[in-house]
Amino acid sequence: MASKFLKLNSKRGFPMPAVGLGTYQMKGDILREALDYALFLGYRHIDTALSYGNEKEVGEVVNWWIKNGKIRRGEVFITTKVPPVYLEFKDTLKSAEQSLDNLKLPFVDMLLIHHPCGNVNRKDGTLKPLNSKGERELASYDTTETWRAMERLVSEDKVVHIGLSNFQPSAINKIWKYSKVKPSNLQLECHAYLQQNELRKLCNKKKIVMTAYAPLGAITRPEQSPDQPVLLEDPTVNQIAKELDRTPGEILLKFVTLLGNTGVLPKSQTKERLEKNIEIFDWELTDEHFKKLKTLDRNMKYFDFPWAKNHQYFFPDEPF
């Protein structure tokens, strides 16, 4: 049985809700309305990032709920991320301060390194620098220095937990070896077509909680290819959904939480889907259904990060 909360490897703060609201590509009133309704439904985990450009909207809604006595700050788990342009020690500190200012919150519950493959910091606020050919401008930073800055933020009570996103085993082990405050979370793409068994084994060993972005297959990602199969249309998923009188989305979210030690961050602005996504703990998959879904693993990524493939800290033979 999947748990509604994931126990982090730190004694600080409170457990991470296993279902959160992903906010990638959501902005303005669309985000405000979706987040307001999500909080009304009982969502207590919100995932944002400096590079999403929506921290201000997230902060507006959360602070309205706090100000009006609907929730206390300690009841909502906020995750944000340091972008690849800000991986130098001082830049990491500034990035976190900028996020806190955007959110208008005294602290965040989880701060992640968004990606280990650094980008050039032009010092003008550009978060995704491109050269004249339209290619991402890469730069190499020592992520142990990034981590040291994040440890300082923990000591200053500006961040409760710190973690990683899109990291491969070698990069995780490097941080683990040199860290005083251990990573609490690894956020990564994970779904029925990409079950991340190798990384899950590593995370289980180190007691790092995993959170899955794109658990439904990222059908709205900008770089989607018509050649890639649509996870929500998978025949096995749809057959199980029909047998259990559930939606394919519910089946996929439930499955990922049952993989163990893994939360999900589905993104939705539709009221009905927001409702369905948080109800996945009210029913069960049978063992037979779970085994069928396990066979769907094909190591297929929707987010392939082609810009990072030539970076010195990208390891082509390792999962991410």
Q: Is residue 320 part of a domain?
A: no
Give the residue numbers annotated as catalytic, written as ranges: 52
Give the integer Cα–Cα distance in Å for 222 and 214: 13
Number of domains the chain is built from = 1
Q: Is residue 266 part of a domain?
A: yes
Is it the case that residue 102 has pLDDT exceeding 90? yes
CATH of the domain at 250: 3.20.20.100
Q: Rounded to two decimals, what is the model's pTM? A: 0.96
Q: Is residue 234 part of a domain?
A: yes
Q: So what's the pLDDT on residue 221? A: 61
Give the integer Cα–Cα distance in Å for 305 and 307: 5
Note the pLDDT tens digit of each residue in 212-237.
999 999 776 655 677 789 999 999 99
Is it the case that residue 100 has pLDDT exceeding 90? yes
Local confidence band at 146 (pLDDT 50, 70, 90 cut-offs): very high
Is it the case that residue 130 has pLDDT exceeding 70? yes
Cα pseudo-dihedral 255, 13, 53, 31, rounded to 10: 60
Q: So what's the pLDDT on residue 316? A: 86
Binding residues for substrate are 114
Binding residues are 114
Cα pseudo-dihedral 39, 186, 126, 22, rounded to 10: -20
Q: So what's the pLDDT on residue 219? A: 72
Give the integer Cα–Cα distance in Å for 233 and 249: 10
Structural domain including 209 reads 5-308
Q: Is residue 315 part of a domain?
A: no
Q: Which two tokens stand for residue 199?
A: 């990384």
Q: So what's the pLDDT on residue 223? A: 59
Give the integer Cα–Cα distance in Å for 135 and 155: 37
Local confidence band at 7 (pLDDT 50, 70, 90 cut-offs): confident
Q: Is residue 107 part of a domain?
A: yes
Q: Is residue 205 part of a domain?
A: yes
Q: Is residue 24 part of a domain?
A: yes
In one letter, which amino acid is 303? F
Q: Is residue 314 part of a domain?
A: no
Q: So what's the pLDDT on residue 1? A: 57
Closest to 213 measured CA to CA, from 68, 115, 84, 105:
115
Is it the case that residue 276 has pLDDT exceeding 60? yes
